[in-house]
Structure 1
Amino acid sequence: MTDGADATKVEWNDWGRQAFETAERTGKPVLLALVTSWAEECAEMDETTYAEPRIAANINDGFVPVRVDADRHPRVRERYNMGGFPSTVFLTPSGDILTGATLLGVDGFRGILDSVRETWDSKGEAAGSKPRAVRDETPPAGEIDDRIEEHMIEQLLGAYDDEFGGWGTDAKFPMPRTIEFALVRARDQATRTLEAVQTHLLDTYDGGFYRVARNRNWGAARREKLLDENAAIIRAFAHGYRYTGDETYREAAESGVEYLTTTLWTGDAFAASQGGDEEYFTLDPTAREDADSPPVDETILADRNGLAIDGLLQYVAYTDDDRAREYARRAREHVVETLVDDGEVTHFIADDETGESGLLLDQARLLTGLTTSWEVLGEPGPAVEVADWTLDTLKADSGEFHDGPVSDVALLDTPLSPLDTNVNTAQALLDLALLTGDTRYEAAAREAIEAFAGAADRMGVEVAEFASAAARLQSPQVIEVGTEAGSDLHRAALRLADHETVVAPRASERAGAAAETPDGTARLVVDGDEQGTADSPEALESLLVE
């Protein structure tokens, strides 16, 4: 439960079976407040609507109020998010949705309370409905072919904003994975978007990147800074630097690294987010010196730290930056030691709460960080164990992955198969297959992408990573390096390979594919076939150019 609850007069319950059993026993609907520590609107609603005594009394008397931190409970967020935070959702005791909204002022909340009570009293459980994500059946399967990538390139061209950069004509999100897809397919779009992100979303004083711009011209930024989004943007700028050599991209990535390793560093790993206090972030630098900076949520989330490890080490691959390397390694060791047990990842552990274990979000994104650690540092950690647990526990018969173990609380009794997290999983499994030489992981990655391929012609630019994964699976590329990580040849391979190619140092006995490569030699393998070898950075560059 977030600290903002203290500002309210509502008698909040924690998420769990007990709250819904109380609702069933008392015949009351549930009021779910889905909040985050970083959204100013959540604090606003706490300090106004929920602090109003008559509204609070009405809630306490007529509803079972449940408050959920959306970052700590991603599966609740996936099922009940109304499109922003706070999400104010009224539920039946079985967990179906009666109605919902986002931020509600005092007058609007009074009206919705009366409406919900009237509906509940007249119709009861029959008034509830399930969101589309829960109603949808197995995603449409299909074959992986060239058309998937071609369609996404068409989507890039159709959605690109020629005037301001980025994709879309309303609010502008950075879309770092879309930038990465475009870097090798529509580079001008990618670089112009990186420039817009750097100009409008980079905090040049405190470092880090704001979450989104409200306007088409990248104006009116929302000022919150989230670890996962910052990590992904660092990675995109690092790749932009690799392709263009533009120092401003390296500097933008470096600013993000500085922010993660100072403001978001807890002493053990990376904090989840920093609040978006508009008043603070619009002060000039001198005034900021004397002001209190917005609070940081120091929860160490496994998924976000996995992406931070990945983003920092992608930057290390091109720059050999010691600071980024050291902090990525320290975060990895802490997360592995405290949140991983025989391959099963726990979302977080805090003084007041322990998160769920075995969520696909955590398994996939930590695996991403571990495979990148293997590529860049030669340090795989429990990558194989995490992958094997995921395959054994979360893989559906139809090939896709479920978002977590089934729970008997409300709509968590129905597993979901979110597209974006399945793509994350497939990308990480393909990386692992190329690092280990174990074809099981490539086969699982292929099945996960095929499980959604029937809908590929309906996908937009926001899921461009799906097309990237499909393209990689058609022609998997790896540079097997017959040296330990950190050698001149290994470092050259990291700098020269495109970002969709895996670099496999001889990290351990599990790296079977790399063991076939002679000592001191790099071997380019495409779709299982050797394309050539090189015994020096210069020779490797010539091989890759050819």
Structure 2
Amino acid sequence: MDEFAADTKVEWREWGPAAFEDAAEAGKPLLLALTVPWSSECREMDRRTYGEPRIAANVNDGFVPVRVDADRHPRVRERYNMGGFPSTVFLTPDGKVLSGATYLGPDGFRDILDGVRETWDAKGEAAGSVPRSVGAGVPPAGEVTPRIEEHMVEQLLGAYDEEFGGWGSDVKFPMARTVEFALVRARDQATRTLEAIRTHLRDTYDGGFYRFAANRDWSDARSEKLLDENAAILRAFAHAYRYTGEEAYRETAEGTLDYLTTTLWNGEAEAFAGSQAGDSSYTQLQATEREDADAPHVDDTVFADRNGVAVDALCTYVAYTDDERAQRYAERARDHVVEQLVDDDGAVIHYADPDAGDVGERGLLLDQARVLQGLTTSWQVLGEGGPATAVADWTVDELQAENGAFRDGPVTGAGLLSEPQYPLDATVELADALADLAELTGDEEYRTAAEEAIAAFAGAADRMGVEVAAYASVASRLLEPASVRVGALAGSDLHRAALRLADHESVVVPDAANLDDVAEQRVDGEVTGTAESPAELEALLTGE
């Protein structure tokens, strides 16, 4: 149970079969409270609603209350999230949804309690329904063609906000991977968006970036900070520095590195903490006032997926800057994940809290994908891939369906966890890492697995928007794989030149077989040129 449950008067149960069995035996619906440690609204609902004695007594008497930390239980989150946190969900004993909402104050909560009880008394189990995201089944397959990338470029142009930067006309998210797609296809859009992110979402006092802005003009920023989102932004600014050479981008990436390696560094675990809570009353203070105030809560949980993104981002920064601190922290976080969260078979554990005897799920797709991406980037930059092939092999063997799509994890568990989902975002991240691994190992089976995964969604490609621009990026990479193979060890002058000069969607292979102090460029499996020095490599890759 999370540490904030004590702020309530509800007799919470842990998620699991026992709670559902007890609900069935008692003939009661369940109340599922999906919370996250970084949400101020979750804390407010704990105090105002669940902390109200009469409401708590009503819940304890008429329902089986279950509380879930959504960060620690992502499969529960993906099936029952009502669109934000907290999510307040009423379930039948077989896991179907009776009703749901996000934040509810005392009056709204009383109203929904009465409505759910009336519905339950009138219809019982028959009143439940399966969320659309769960019942969607396998995605629509199709052919991977250049049209996928063309369509996404059209989406960039159509959705771009010329007045304020970013994409869309409402809430503004950083969309770091969309920025990276745009860097080589619509660079002005990418750089203007990065300027907006830096201007409006960066915490100029404590460091790091806020999650999103509530308004089109990037105002009313939400102040929570998540590890994976900050790491992704760091990587986007690093790539922008690589393409433009502008020091401002490097300095912004370095500032984010400062935040990750101080506030979000879990020194006991030697890895990165999951998040820092939002607190608007704190972030609105002047700098001098913050000095005497308590900073928002940091969740020290070391999540495999978020650390995978951090390792990837820090290694990318190292590739362009040779920054020793970034390399040191990337190695430490990578080693912790490999030693503590990857088993001998290559299955990744979502998190582990030995002191509390709490261990997360094993073999979640997003964990597998992001840890693999961290390992393949480490391989390219530092020459150390660790158990990358084991992680990839386990994922392909255990999670890839016959149509090529990847399940989000095991098909077991309470509620609707036995219903598989096929998430696009996690599949894209995995396919990206598998494409890297194919070049690094020379094993075409990894590319085949990535191609099948991308093809599994290609039937819906013409309906995809800019928020999944990375899908088009991976599709493009698979249609025309590009790499720079270096016949020298990682850290050599030739290897370091390759990291700086290669397109960020290409793969750099250090210590490549059958090459002796020579670098070669390959496109779609064909050697298009060789170089024996950094200067020759620059001429080859830039055409100058």
TM-score calculated relative to the size of structure 1: 0.98
The 5 A counterparts of 1:294-333 are 294-333=296-335
CA distance in 2, matches of 1:276, 1:408: 31
> Which residue in the other structure is 1:515 paired with?
513
2:294 to 292, 295, 303: 292
1:3 CA displacement: 1.5
> Which residue in the other structure is 1:473 paired with?
478
> Which residue in the other structure is 2:503 paired with?
498
The 5 A counterparts of 1:56-71 are 56-71=56-71
Letter in 2 for 1:292: D
> Which residue in the other structure is 2:340 paired with?
338
- In structure 2, the residue corresponding to 1:65 is in which secondary structure? strand
> Which residue in the other structure is 1:511 paired with?
none
Letter in 2 for 1:520: D
1:138 CA displacement: 1.3
Identity %: 69
The 5 A counterparts of 1:77-476 are 77-267=77-267, 268-342=270-344, 343-350=346-353, 351-352=355-356, 353-476=358-481
1:134 CA displacement: 1.0
> Which residue in the other structure is 1:510 paired with?
none
- The Cα offsets for residues 289-326 of structure 1, whole Å up to 9 and x where unpaired, read as 11110110000000000000001111111010000000
CA distance in 2, matches of 1:332, 1:234: 17
- The Cα offsets for residues 53-94 of structure 1, whole Å up to 9 and x where unpaired, read as 111001000000000001000110100000000000000000
2:542 is aligned with 1:545: yes
1:283 CA displacement: 1.2
Letter in 1 for 2:37: S
> Which residue in the other structure is 1:532 paired with?
529
CA distance in 2, matches of 1:219, 1:259: 22
1:357 CA displacement: 0.3
CA distance in 1, matches of 2:359, 2:283: 32
Which deviates more from structure 2 when the two are superposed, residues 343-352 or residues 360-369? 343-352
2:487 to 476, 482, 486: 482
1:137 CA displacement: 2.1
Q: In the alignment, is the contact (CA less than 8 A) between 2:438 and 2:445 conserved in 1?
A: yes
- In structure 2, the residue corresponding to 1:411 is in which secondary structure? coil
Moved over 6 A (4+): none
CA distance in 1, matches of 2:435, 2:397: 17
1:359 CA displacement: 0.5
> Which residue in the other structure is 1:509 paired with?
none
Letter in 1 for 2:225: K
- In structure 2, the residue corresponding to 1:412 is in which secondary structure? coil
1:2 CA displacement: 1.8
- The Cα offsets for residues 421-479 of structure 1, whole Å up to 9 and x where unpaired, read as 00011000000001110000000000000000000000000000000000000100010
Give unpaired runs (5+ residues) of structure 2: none
- In structure 1, the residue corresponding to 2:202 is in which secondary structure? coil
Q: In the alignment, is the contact (CA less than 8 A) between 2:480 and 2:523 conserved in 1?
A: yes
CA distance in 2, matches of 1:178, 1:292: 35
- In structure 1, the residue corresponding to 2:266 is in which secondary structure? coil
TM-score calculated relative to the size of structure 2: 0.98
How many residues are paired up? Answer: 538
Q: In the alignment, is the contact (CA less than 8 A) between 2:79 and 2:416 conserved in 1?
A: yes
CA distance in 1, matches of 2:203, 2:498: 33
- The Cα offsets for residues 188-232 of structure 1, whole Å up to 9 and x where unpaired, read as 000000000000111111111110011111111000000000010
1:373 CA displacement: 0.3
> Which residue in the other structure is 1:23 paired with?
23
Letter in 2 for 1:515: A
1:409 CA displacement: 1.0
1:407 CA displacement: 1.0
1:408 CA displacement: 3.3
Which deviates more from structure 2 when the two are superposed, residues 67-76 or residues 407-416? 407-416
1:47 CA displacement: 0.3
- The Cα offsets for residues 335-362 of structure 1, whole Å up to 9 and x where unpaired, read as 1101110201000011332100000010
